[in-house]
Amino acid sequence: MTEPLLQVRALRKSFGALAVTDDVSLSVTEGELHAIIGPNGAGKTTLISQLSGQLAPDSGTILYDGAPITRLDMAARVRRGLARSFQITALLPGMSVLENVSLAVQARSGSSYRFWRPVADDAALSQEAMQALDEVGLADRAHRPARALSHGEQRQLELAVALATKPRLLLLDEPLAGTGGQEAEVLISLMRRLKDRLTIVLIEHDMGAVFALADRVSVLVYGQIAASGTPGDIRADPKVRAAYLGEEEEGTPDA
């Protein structure tokens, strides 16, 4: 058996008295799509933030590709191939769609201490950025300011930016949040394609999407992993049905 790409061991994080990540252990094998589901406030975003380096855990270890990355900052983790998308869209609103993506390409291709040559003339940067835009279906929006995109398009751009960092492990925090119908379809089929070449940790409220895409599912409740297994196992687990799936049918998905 090969070593998992991502291994989380006994991770803990509290905000004051509230244990938001409560002894979480998790492993993600290279190539799998590992979904994390759980009710609002379960600590899913907080977990992703610790994996990506935005938040420091109180204790515990994160191993990536066999090496501990717990003390590395976000930039260092991105350079090792660990990228995230944000639940609440975090783009560069005043810059163009293309610039949003090409800045991610620029971050991993050569020095940014270049003061003279116009970045717009850098064909290599724009070309790679256009590829990422093409992949998510935003190529025709390249020169719009990011803030002018529709909500669904901004979700697509979130993905394009994460892809442009050339990740090996992609952490997606509710990529479908706030999208509907057609928009969600586009993103789901994109994830289906990405899943063939990347390892993905997916947080998602849309159970249809989760059960269609995931190889494994972990259920997070009150900061603890309540269950972990194949989509079939999870669907059948009575604890999960009571704690989460039943609740979901009455249905208040995350905003």
Ligand X SMILES: Nc1ncnc2c1ncn2[C@@H]1O[C@H](COP(=O)(O)OP(=O)(O)O)[C@@H](O)[C@H]1O
Question: Contact residues for another protein (CB under 8 A)?
Answer: 52, 54, 73-75, 78-79, 83-84, 86, 90-95, 99, 103-104, 106-108, 111-120, 122, 161, 164-165
Using CB distances below 5 to 8 A depending on partner kind, what does residue 58 bind out of another protein, Mg ion, ligand X, none?
A: none
| Complex with Mg ion: residue 44 or 77, whichever CB lies closer | 44
Residue 121 Cβ, how far from Mg ion at the closest point, in Å?
A: 40
Nearest to 187 by CA among 215, 216, 147, 154: 154
Contact call for residue 45 and Mg ion (CB under 5 A)? yes
> In which residue are the tokens 């442009």 written?
164
| Complex with ligand X: residue 230 or 252, whichever CB lies closer | 252
Distance between CA atoms of 217 and 44, rounded to whole angstroms?
A: 13
Using CB distances below 5 to 8 A depending on partner kind, what does residue 104 bind out of another protein, Mg ion, ligand X, none?
A: another protein
Nearest to 151 by CA among 129, 186, 185, 177: 177
The token pair that represents 126 in the structure block: 């724009």
Q: Are 79 and 108 in contact (CB under 8 A)?
A: yes
Q: What is the DSSP letter of 32?
A: -
Contact call for residue 178 and ligand X (CB under 6 A)? no
Q: Considering only residues 3 through 62, tell me which ones interact with ligand X, judged by CB under 6 A.
A: 15, 20, 38, 40-46
> What Rg do the C-alpha atoms of the chain give, in angstroms?
18
Distance between CA atoms of 185 and 180, rounded to whole angstroms?
A: 8
What interhelical angle do 97-107 and 151-164 show, nearest 10? 20
Using CB distances below 5 to 8 A depending on partner kind, what does residue 120 bind out of ligand X, another protein, Mg ion, none?
A: another protein
Query: Interface with Mg ion by CB under 5 A: which range of 31-39, 43-51, 97-105, 130-138?
Result: 43-51
Using CB distances below 5 to 8 A depending on partner kind, what does residue 113 bind out of ligand X, Mg ion, another protein, none?
A: another protein
Residues in contact with ligand X by CB under 6 A are: 15, 20, 38, 40-46, 254
